[in-house]
Structure formats: C-alpha cells, structure tokens
C-alpha cells in the first residue's frame, strides 16, 4: 500500500499526489470505504491523506489507483449539507489555515454566515484568517464601515487582511501567509475568491464570475473542490462559493466556547453553566453592554442558538 493526498474531488473520481511532490494521478474509491463513511455525503475530501493500491507503475484514466483507506485527519472543515438536513459535507481536511474571503458590499456581507464559518474553524482546530476583498471600492465608498468591521473581528482575536484582487493591495501579505502548508480559501459566492487566487499566483486559472444584478449575489463559478500548488510555495484548496453554512455536531451549550471574546469573560458569569441569554449576573451580556463584545457577534450567537432548535 502507498500513501498520497487527495488534490481533487470530482464526485466519484479523484486526483492524488504524493505531496510535497506535485504529480497528480487519477483514483477511484473502493466501495467499502464509501459505506464506512456513510455519515457524510462525501467519504473522501480534498486534503485527506489516503492509502491506495494500483496494478501499474503509473495510474491513468484507464487504470486508476484505488483508494482503500482514509487516514486519520488532523482537522477538517464540515458543514450541514442542506437546510434541515442531518447529512454533513466535509469541505476539506488536514489544513494549516482557512482564508475566509469576504466583502462588505457587492455582495453585501452576512455576518451570521461569516460567524458560523469562524465557529466551525474554532471547533475543528483550523486557524482562521479573514481577507476583506474589494478594498479598491471601500476606501472611498465606505471607510467607516471598513474600520468598524476590522474593529469587530480584530477585537475578537482574528487577523483581518485588507486586500484587493484588482489593485494588488494586501496580496504580498496573503502570499506570505499561504507560502507554507495548506490553505483553504473559502467564502460566499461573489466575494472574488477566484480573483484572489489568480492574484496570488497568475499562473493559476480558476474560473471567475460576475455578480447577479437581480440579487447582488455572486454566481457559482467553481463546482469542484481542488488543490493547487503556489509558485511561491504552499498549497491552496479552492472551493465552490457557499450560499449556506449549517453547524454540525455542536451542542447549543457549547457554542459560546467557540466565540473567543465570549470565552475570555464567561468564567465571570454568576451562574455556570450560563447560556448568556437571560441569566442575571452574566459577564458576557455585561461585556456586550460595555462595548467589549460587539452586538453583531452576540446576535450571531443568539441566531445559532435558535438555528440549533431547527435541527432537533
């Protein structure tokens, strides 16, 4: 048996490479592995390290390798597949970081969506960095909104990189960030994720799309999960633009633990455990009132508590 990393997931067919060597070859999945991982819609994700068997020196489309085992993951990003569905979908595995690309407008940011992504990163041990794209528009149109967004998430403990795929602002910092290990690049449709990837490494050609004028939302341009090597070192994983993100395997009593700014003060609550909703002497609510925790982040937390009820 030999080992390699999944670098492309096309549903029933995969590409593997023995990283850090970049020499992808085709593979298929043995049925037994598919059944064993039946809890998720995809038993194998990009970034997974797998064992495989082959009956030829160089697997090809006619003689693909056969994935026989998925090795233990160091971490992963997972979401609920569809609204009110109990199935889950693993987006990517064995990550050094997740770069979450967002925009304030065009399309308009949905903070609860971003916060669910951040909570998931916290739950599964993935370092999250926020890339605020399209700064070429916001410097003049919305400087105060930029300042407020950065204040909210930097005070929560997250690195926020202001960037523009169009002008190149912030790209050196992003390139340095991604130059080692494996970086998942994710975000809502239309935020310019593929354009950021192209700006990071012009030799790459991910699809780019336009904004739907009817809804000012992005059109899906990426349909596959795929890893790319960067010229400057490191690997990135490109994902389809997301339109929804449901939490998986997280009890409502645990959600507050994955808001870093809440965790810092929660031990001072009068009652333990505390839901931070109605209890007297709640240190989290006091921190919100004092401006130490943003109302936007707190409202996202309350929304997650409500969302949790839907799935029970």
Q: What's the CATH number where 23 sits?
A: 2.40.50.140
Q: Is 244 domain-assigned?
A: no
Token code pair at residue 42: 């995809």
What does 20-74 look like in DSSP terms, one character per residue?
Answer: TS---EEEEE-HHHHHHTTTBS-SS-TT-EEEEE-SSSS--SSS-EEEEEEPPPS
Q: Are 47 and 95 in contact (CB under 8 A)?
A: yes
Residue numbers of the domain that contains 35:
2-70
Q: Rounded to a whole number, what is the largest CA-CA distance in the chain?
A: 68
Number of structural domains the chain divides into: 3
Q: pLDDT digits over 248-266, tens only?
A: 778 888 999 999 999 999 9
Q: Which residues of the chain have pLDDT under 70?
A: 32-39, 81-86, 206-223, 241-246, 308-312
Same domain? 109 vs 225: yes
Q: Identify the CATH number of the domain in which residue 280 sits.
A: 1.10.40.50
pLDDT for residue 86: 61
pLDDT at 96: 98
Looking at residue 212, its pLDDT comes to 36
pLDDT digits 0-9 by tens, 140-177: 999 999 999 999 999 999 999 999 999 999 999 999 99
246 inside domain: no
My answer on whether 185 and 57 are in the same domain is no
Containing 171, the helix (H) or strand (E) segment is helix 171-177
- What CATH number is given to the structural domain containing 147? 3.40.50.300
Check whether residue 140 and residue 281 sit in a common domain. Answer: no
Predicted pLDDT at 87: 73
When computed from its CA atoms, the radius of gyration of the chain, rounded to whole angstroms, is 21
> Quick one: 99 and 182 in the same domain?
yes
Does 154 fall in a domain?
Answer: yes
Domain boundary among 22, 47, 70: 70
Residues 155 and 45 in one domain: no
53-82 in b/e burial notation, b at 16+ Cβ within 10 A? ebeeeebeeeebbbbeebeebebbbbbbbe
């Amino acid at each position: 048996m030999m080992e390699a990393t999944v670098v492309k997931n096309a549903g029933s067919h995969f590409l593997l490479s023995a990283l850090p060597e970049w020499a992808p070859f085709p593979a298929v999945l043995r049925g037994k592995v598919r059944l064993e991982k039946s809890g998720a819609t995809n038993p194998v994700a990009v970034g997974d390290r797998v064992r495989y068997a082959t009956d030829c020196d160089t697997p090809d489309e006619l003689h693909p390798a056969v994935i026989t085992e998925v090795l233990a993951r160091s971490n992963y990003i997972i979401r609920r597949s569809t609204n009110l569905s109990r199935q889950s979908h693993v987006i990517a595995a064995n990550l050094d970081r997740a770069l979450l690309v967002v925009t304030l407008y065009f399309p308009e940011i949905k903070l609860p969506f971003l916060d669910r992504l951040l909570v998931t990163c916290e739950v599964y041990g993935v370092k999250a960095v926020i890339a605020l794209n399209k700064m070429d528009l916001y410097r003049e149109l919305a400087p105060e909104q930029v300042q407020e967004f950065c204040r909210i998430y930097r005070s929560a403990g997250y690195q926020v990189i202001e960037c523009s795929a169009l002008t190149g602002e912030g790209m050196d910092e992003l390139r340095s960030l991604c130059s080692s290990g494996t970086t998942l690049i994710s975000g809502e449709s239309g935020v310019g994720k593929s354009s950021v990837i192209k700006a990071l490494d012009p030799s790459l050609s991910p699809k780019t799309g336009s904004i739907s004028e009817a809804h000012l939302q992005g059109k899906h341009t990426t349909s596959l999960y795929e890893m790319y090597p960067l010229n400057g070192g490191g690997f990135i994983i490109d994902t389809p633009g997301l339109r929804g993100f449901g939490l998986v395997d997280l009890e409502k009593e645990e959600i507050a633990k994955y808001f870093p700014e809440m965790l810092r003060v929660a031990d001072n609550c009068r009652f333990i455990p505390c839901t931070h909703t109605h209890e007297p002497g709640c240190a989290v609510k006091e921190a919100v009132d004092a401006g130490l925790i943003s109302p936007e982040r707190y409202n996202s937390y309350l929304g997650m508590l409500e969302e949790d009820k839907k799935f029970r």
